Amino acid sequence: MSTIGYLGLGIMGSPMAVNLQRAGHTVRGWNRSPGKADALFAAGGTEAGSIAEAVAGAQVVCVNVSDTPDVVQVLTGEEGAFAHCAPGTVVVDFSTIRPDVTRDLAAQAAERGLSLLDAPVSGGEQGAVDGVLSVMVGGDQEAFDDSAEVFAAVGRTVLRVGPSGAGQTVKAANQLVVAGYVEVLAEAVVLLESQGVDLEVALDVLAGGMAGSRVLEQKRSLMTGREFRPGFRVDLHHKDMGIVLDTARDAGVVMPVAALTAQLLASARANGDGDLDHSALLRGVLRLSGRDLGTA
């Protein structure tokens, strides 16, 4: 079992840190804003007052923060993890960031005798709580193999998909597919409601056929009940679609549906829905259709 410094105790980071502690690792959590370690405390972990304290003596350092600049600051800032990790430490970045930045960070880590794995996750808050996330990992094979017990505590499907940056590229593809599913499901819900059919029965039928998906399974109740408690916020999906489009542009790839979906997420943010779950794309379809946002 490892001593783990866990940097970022948000919606995803907190339950993942808890599962690592419950698996027998010794977890020291750190968060930019204090007061987020209650669940980790309850599981037997501890809270560090600084990044340096969190990573001191750790064999593995996990990072789970919101955006590319946050990861860069947490790792390479004057008081960042790279400055305080011992040589040989494996840094596992569970955040979702730009693949090109990940590759640069991996090179910086290697110069310090560290190994950086980009390991973004999919499965949402409930997947993090249940420890059944899908983890797409880029980086060194040996570092990946050495971190097997860490990944086993947080994920059910854990695969190394290539060298540094590959994990982030696969996550970008994942976010594109999920955004498309959420938007199309929202449009289907509005269409069904407009015709006065029994919505729950209709969705049961869809779920049993080719239209069935994990998105339908997890997001239908949020849409039908107009309850958009964030499991994955619009703001974060908007950020991720920016990564998709930037990566596509750099590769010279044309992605018209991705561009449209990104604009619909931007519209949701502009209309004040940024802190809601991304299933709130339903509200955008209702706005465009001239319908009441609150009527289920």
Q: What is the pLDDT along the chain (296 residues), one digit of tens a residue?
A: 789 999 999 999 999 999 999 999 999 999 998 888 999 999 999 999 999 999 999 999 999 998 999 999 999 998 999 999 999 999 999 999 999 999 999 999 999 999 999 999 998 888 999 999 999 999 999 999 999 999 999 999 999 999 999 999 999 999 999 999 999 999 999 999 999 999 999 999 999 999 999 999 999 999 999 999 988 899 999 999 999 999 999 999 999 999 999 999 999 999 999 999 999 999 999 999 999 987 54
Domain 170-288 = CATH 1.10.1040.10: yes
Residue 57's nearest CA partner among 115, 2, 1 is 2
Which top CATH class is 3-162? Answer: alpha beta
Cβ neighbourhood burial of 113 (10 Å; 0-12, 13-18, 19+): exposed
Do residues 130 and 155 touch, judged by C-beta distance below 8 A? no
Measured CA to CA, the distance from residue 36 to residue 148 in angstroms comes to 27
Task: Give the residue carrying structure tokens 């379809």.
Answer: 285
Residue 171 among the catalytic residues = yes
Q: Which of 36, 171, 219, 239 is catalytic?
A: 171
Do residues 249 and 236 touch, judged by C-beta distance below 8 A? no
- In the chain, what is the greatest distance between 2 CA atoms, to the nearest angstrom? 63
Q: Domain segments of the chain: what residues? A: 3-162, 170-288
Measured CA to CA, the distance from residue 86 to residue 57 in angstroms comes to 7
Query: Phi and psi of 158, rounded to 5°?
Result: -125, 115
Query: Phi and psi of 121, rounded to 5°?
Result: -125, 160
| The pTM of the whole model exceeds 0.85 | yes
